[in-house]
Amino acid sequence: MSINEYAEQFFRWRVNKLKKEHFLSDLNDEQYAAVKVVKNSVVSAGAGSGKTRVLAKRFVNLIVEKKLSVDKIVALTFSKKAATEMSERIFEALSTLAEQTKTPELKKAVEDFNKAQVSTIDSFCATIARTGCSQFGISPDFKIDKAASDKLADTVALNFFLKHRDEPVLQKVLADHNIEDFVSGCFAKILKNYSLITKPLDLDNSIHKQNKKIVLLFEKYMTSLSKEIQIIESLESNKSEFCDTVKSNINQLGQTPKSVGDKIFESFLEKLHKVANISIQHLKRDEVTKTCKEAIKQIRNITIDLLALLNYVNNVPLTIQLFEFIKELQKDFISQKRALGVLSYSDVAQLAVDVLVNDIDVRNFYKNRIDAVMIDEFQDNNRLQRDLLFLLTEKSDRVELSIPNPDELCEDKLFFVGDDKQSIYLFRGADVSVFKKLNREITNDEDSVINLATNYRSETGMLNIFNYVFKSVFYSDEHLPSDEIEESMLEHESFFEPVLSIRNTAGVNPELKILIADGARLKFADLDASNPNLSDEECEAATLVNEIKKMKESKTQVRAESQARDCRWSDFAVLFRTTGNQAIVERYLRKAGIPYRAVQQKGLFYDAPINDIVALLRLAVYPWDKLGYAQVLRSPFINISDNAFTEILLQDFEPFDNQADKFLQGADLEGFIKGRALFTRIKQCIKEKTNAEIISSLWYDEAYRYLILTNENYHRYIELYDYLFEIARQADDNGLSVVAFLDLLEGYIVDGDKLEDLDIPGEENGDAVQLLTIHKSKGLEYPVVCIPFCGYEGRPNKHDDFVFYSDDLGLSIVLPESEKDFFKDVSPNIFFDELKQIENHKHIAEVKRLLYVAMTRAESHIIMTGKKINRKKKDPELKGERSLSELRDLFKFPEVKTSLTSFFNLLIPGLYEDDDEFKNLNIQVSEIMPITSSEVVSMFAGAKQKNKKVMTQAEIEKAYKKATLKIFPEPEKKVFAASHLHDCESQDYKQNYPTKKQNDSFDDLNNFDAHDETGSEKIAATDIGTLTHLAIEYFFKKKTLALPAKHEEEILKMRDTFFESKLGQKAVSATVRNTEYGFITKYDGKKVIGQIDLMFEADNIVYIVDYKTDKQEIPENHKEQLSVYKKAVTDLYKIKGKQNLPVKTFLFYLRSGNVQEI
């Protein structure tokens, strides 16, 4: 190589090196360290600290510096949304650097990025689980469906209880508990939370663990007791009458038991109980008496503890019997899960771990495919995921059939990112303690954790508020835990450290506004029947909405890029801890004329439009559903008068039976006949179309959307179609029939189920306030965050107080109380109480983290509202608003004894207006006063007029013509309609949900609800065709069909044209005849359904007739449809043993009388 070539090569290398370093130049020191670290590491990434950027750049850096290939780097996260974002960010970073440097390895990485292993940890577990599940008796085509698994658990638990309800052990444990609560809170909870398909509870081991703990506790308590007795015995006699009495009783204790199983243990405790209950009231205050009194207090506590041990020991036989039943319950549940192939996410994670532990070949396969693992949001995972990752990154020569210890891991493969303060998925099994222990485990040095402490999201003033508030909410250097808090509880707590800031946008004035309501004051405010007060929830919602309105009207400044601008509606996000009161906030947003978008719909099915559509579908599937029939009659689809409605229901006819026609007249009769045609069309529609197609047809083809557009008050319902359509699309994707789809909807309507993880495809919503849960807001940010109902403490779950589990103690179940007097107020199960206390502490810690996540979504402004009821009646002394110090008395920091607390219970007790730090912060605290109905009217006066745009009928029709129908890709069709096969003959045909030319859509809605120039009703062509089919069918049945007067002559003429033909006469004389004959068959590899208008036998020939009311006669268009009919009937006659009968197919054009054999 010449010197010039070498110099040129060196120059290119140096330029690329500088470019690669420049690629990391936008990182701060901590971010840079996280990207570059070469050993197994844990990164603590606070809110807004840029962790996604760090993960993306670390991925690229592994390719650039360590020369790893794309397909050997695993990047995992918690949710699908986060996985998608991570994948996009990595690809963008990779592509940018590849374009800049032109290096071969980066170019190849971009080309191979489709091989990158970027996914959710659940999806990753499922891939591994399917690899080796067969060795555990589980089919690889298992389905991950937690809802179905939980439903099965409920069913198995109830059936098991009913089968064994008379067993004495169950009767004893059930005691006074409600059966439903016990079955759900004990049996079903065990199956849902603790019984995994490959790892059922080891109940014998639970007994063993608890017995070992009993021995240790016995020794501990007896040692403490001995110490207190020695203190009393060491006191000088004859100095205190009280002390001498105590000594006398102690001398009667006799021999000390050696163990909990000692025969004398119970009698010893009876005597000790007397000592402990010696009165300590009204004693002298001399030193001997005082010392003895303190010792008796300690002996009382020790006695209670020892009685609890004895109570537990006495209940061990009962516990063992109960555990035998639970073993049988588990066996039944797991057997059914295997048979159904239905697994929960926990099942899959455990299965993946079991596969890796037990199958060395599978484990080595995955170990060889992985050179590095990056895991985001690991605070939302648990021990199972930790074990799985340890197995995948263990040293190459390790082959033991167990989970590796930290020292058996490769030293440079694991990179965990998380923030224990943002762990908010306890209800899904997340265990924040696992993340907190990680750094200790993999580095043996807690100080080596990389802390991304700089927040790039929030303004400096907002972060100063966070630093002040959360040092009291969480434990911190200024708020240390007491010595009474056990280590097992602290594992689930977060420790807050101040956050650093860099944002300080000129013109933006960060603020925390806290609005507090005294529920008692609102409830007992002076009442005026003519001008009533709002309820406390409404008062809170109205106040919040008014604050939003005032901020918008006053042009509050928020940050856009690096500059201030006026706030918009879309800058506001309302975050709910629970969606229970979301509908109230929505109502007041509408009153104020404020546009909004609800990300999570709970009350969707409380609204009339959705119920109208569901009722019509349900009636088509279940014609005997009288309630559904009643709702359809009153819906805009039919819209008959009250009198007609009553008359129809009193006659008790089948839906839309023509016998009811004679009781109706005028518009009611016309509407009822129109409804009959609609009902017929929908019944046919559900036989031929997917769920999403049916919904689209009802909304557009039947013009329900148009009916909503004509009423300004109903315009807010327009977006509901998107939600219903998406539910239907997902149902199609999951292969649900229309019956199963209706059952799904019924769950939302009757049970009030929330729609989880429902991402609505389509256009961006524009300028509107966002409504979503705190959980849904994770990873998002907003200039203004509103957190309503901060006084809500949660709802006690009566199903949770029957059973608890821990790795240390196993399963612990609530047991009946002892009937012996000296066991009064003593726990029947000491371990149950211990686990319950830990569980309560976990829930309180979770609420702290939930508050943190909610508040840290804000860039510059937060509004919080909440109430607290502190008195039973109104305080007459209260006249105006109270100060912070007065309002602070309403709230109390939570105790460990309960799992319930509110955001304000955590927040308000730490706010002191006299605090110098508080004075330097922009925190405004005020009281929500009672609001009357008239005050609400004036509060939002002019809102509707200001925001409302009144449209004329002509404008509505024009807008409807221009409306762009949303086109969504359909899942692969599983069933095809025979009548539509002609449309999909072409090679490149793609199934899409039905769309219309925009001009056609308005023609159809005119046909649906329009009149001709004389004012008479105008019936759509499809309605005329349907009615003609019905007229022919009724003629065969010798029944009379009532028809619209305007079209009666036209319809009867077509009917008679058929019956006067030779084909019609043959059909009338046939002894074997079927009309509207439904079928399902296989045709050209597809499953096809259809309905034959007429089929009959004559002259030893099977005739198939399809009626057509088309004005244009193009037989070729129906050739394939008739071929399907012929195959279906031929197959049917083979089954009947009449395969020798020829089958002929005919088109009969009813307008002309032309017959065409196909």
pLDDT > 70? residue 322: yes
Q: What is the distance between the alpha carbons of residues 664 and 1044, in angstroms, rounded to a whole number?
A: 12
pLDDT (0 to 100) of residue 968: 45
Segment 692-732, tens digit of pLDDT: 888 888 777 776 666 666 665 555 556 666 677 778 888 88
Residue type, 308: A
Helices 80-101 and 3-22: crossing angle in degrees, nearest 10, is 150
Q: Does residue 1096 have a pLDDT over 80?
A: yes
Least confident of 204-208, 401-405, 640-644: 640-644
Instruction: Average the pLDDT over 248-253 and give the result.
Output: 89
Average pLDDT of every residue of the chain: 83
Judge whether 447 and 466 are in contact, CB under 8 Å.
Answer: no
| Residues of the chain above pLDDT 90, percent | 39
Cα–Cα nearest to 794, from 696, 711, 717, 906? 906
Q: For each of the domains in the chain, give its residue range(s) and CATH number, in order of start.
A: 3-136+345-452 (3.40.50.300), 146-343 (no CATH), 502-601+767-936 (3.40.50.300), 603-753+954-1008 (1.10.486.10), 1021-1157 (3.90.320.10)
pLDDT tens-digit series, residues 519-532: 877 766 656 667 78
Is a pLDDT exceeding 80 seen at residue 974? no
Confidence band for 1075, pLDDT divided at 50, 70 and 90: confident
Rounded Cα gap, residues 799 and 180, in angstroms: 9
Report the alpha-carbon distance of residue 892 to residue 894 in Å, rounded.
6
As separate numbers, helices (DSSP H) first and strands (DSSP E) second, the chain gives 44, 27
User: What is the average pLDDT across 296-307?
Assistant: 91
Mean pLDDT of 973-978: 60
Alpha-carbon separation of residue 475 from 455, 483, 498, 897, 1065 (angstroms):
20, 13, 12, 18, 91
Q: What pLDDT is stored for residue 400 in this prediction? A: 93
Which string of b and e fits 70-90 if b means at least 16 CB within 10 Å?
bbbbbbbbbbebbbebbbebb
Query: Is pLDDT at 1000 greater than 70 in this prediction?
Result: no
Confidence (pLDDT) at 789: 95
- SS3 readout for 97-157: HHHHHCCHHHHHHHHCHHHCEEEEHHHHHHHHHHHHHHHHCCCCCCEECHHHHHHHHHHHH
What pLDDT is recorded for position 648? 84
Q: Which helix (H) or strand (E) holds 503?
A: strand 500-503
pLDDT in tens, 1029-1054: 888 988 888 877 777 777 888 899 99
1119 burial (CB, 10 Å; 0-12 / 13-18 / 19+) is middle
Q: Quick one: DSSP state of residue 377?
A: S
- In the predicted model, is pLDDT for residue 503 greater than 60? yes
The sign of the torsion formed by the CA atoms of 1038, 1041, 1047, 1048 equals positive
Residue 823 neighbours by CB distance under 10 Å: 18
pLDDT for 889: 81
Residue 1014: pLDDT band with limits 50, 70, 90: very low
pLDDT band for position 993 (50/70/90)? very low
Q: In this structure, are residues 42 and 439 in contact, taking their beta carbons and an 8 Å threshold?
A: yes
Across residues 187-205, what is the average pLDDT? 94
User: Quick check: 975 pLDDT over 50?
Assistant: yes
- What is the model's pLDDT at position 639? 76
Residue 827 dihedral angles phi and psi, to the nearest 5°: -60, 130
As a whole number, mean pLDDT of residues 24-41 equals 90
Q: Which of 109-113, 288-292, 350-354, 481-485 holds the top average pLDDT?
A: 350-354
**Dihedral angle sign, alpha carbons of residues 378, 381, 383, 384:** negative
Task: Calculate ∠ Cα 198-204-209, nearest 5°.
Answer: 110
Distance CA 414, CA 74 (A): 10
Beta-sheet pairing, 572-576 with 923-927: unpaired
Residue 710 has what pLDDT?
Answer: 63
Q: Which helix (H) or strand (E) holds 342?
A: strand 342-343
Contact 993, 970 (CB under 8 A): yes
Q: Beta-carbon neighbour count of residue 139 at 10 Å? A: 12
